[in-house]
Amino acid sequence: MAGRTVILRGSPRRGGNSDALADMFRSRAEALGAVVTDVPLAELQYNGCINLFHCKTGGETCGQVDDLTPVLDDISRADVLVLASPVYFTSLSGQLKLAIDRFFSFFVPDYTTNPEKSRLGSGRHLVFLQSQGEPEERYGDLMQSFEASFTGLGFDRQHLVRACGVRARGDVTGQAACQARCAKVARDIYG
């Protein structure tokens, strides 16, 4: 059973719809026994990957030391990683994308040829919480473009909760389908 969970909140706006999705998921996960580390990325000072290659040539962790360093350490020990983001300019928020770029440090040095690509092992869960103001036809599942990389990192059990048509703060709380989907994903992982 999965238990250790890290939530990365990618919105630069506290209390928005992706935060509400994260709150929904967190409450369900904790009710099922998960231990949750909750990280609002907008409150941290960090860079994306700057190609130091320390993680491939000199060590097993990212060579940068900043506010994201302990978060990466938490992720390395987590069973479940939750990424929450609004759609900003047709993609993930910049805050979340910068953090994801640092996940490069989780790949082993010879990841392009090694069948065991990740330092993290396998069997982990990735939950992506996507909120967007536009209808369902727009943007699709943004995580599709990251699927192979996350699978290679050991997050081979992937789950999506997508809230569409949520523009005003709190709109997502009125979507019973999102609440039900958060509850189902949490049961599937922790139940």
pLDDT in tens, 2-38: 789 999 999 999 999 999 999 999 999 999 999 999 9
Q: Is the dihedral of CA 19, 7, 126, 59 positive or negative?
A: positive
Residue 176, pLDDT score: 95
Distance CA 56, CA 59 (A): 7
- Domain ranges in the chain are 4-190
DSSP state of 33: T
Q: What DSSP string describes 72-141? A: HHHHHH-SEEEEEEE-BTTB--HHHHHHHHGGGGGB-TTTTT-SS-BSS-S--EEEEEEEESS-TTTT--
Q: For 155-184, what is the mean pLDDT?
A: 94
Predicted confidence (pLDDT) at residue 185 exceeds the cutoff of 70: yes
Residue 177, pLDDT score: 94
Q: What values do phi and psi take at 177, rounded to 5?
A: -65, -35
Residue 28, pLDDT score: 96
Residue 58, pLDDT score: 86
Residue 1, pLDDT score: 56
- 10-22 per-residue burial string, b: 16 or more CB within 10 A, e: under 16: bbbeeebbbbbbb
Q: For 33-48, what is the mean pLDDT?
A: 98
Residue 66, pLDDT score: 98
Nearest-CA neighbor of 98 among 131, 62, 54, 132?
Answer: 62
pTM: 0.96
Distance CA 60, CA 107 (A): 9
For 67-126, write each residue's pLDDT tens digit. Answer: 999 999 999 999 999 999 999 989 999 999 999 999 999 999 999 999 999 999 999 999
Q: For 165-177, what is the mean pLDDT?
A: 93
> Do 7 and 82 touch, CB atoms closer than 8 A?
yes
Q: For 176-187, what is the mean pLDDT?
A: 96
Distance CA 94, CA 83 (A): 13
User: Could you tell me which CATH class the domain 4-190 is placed in?
Assistant: alpha beta
> Do 6 and 80 touch, CB atoms closer than 8 A?
yes
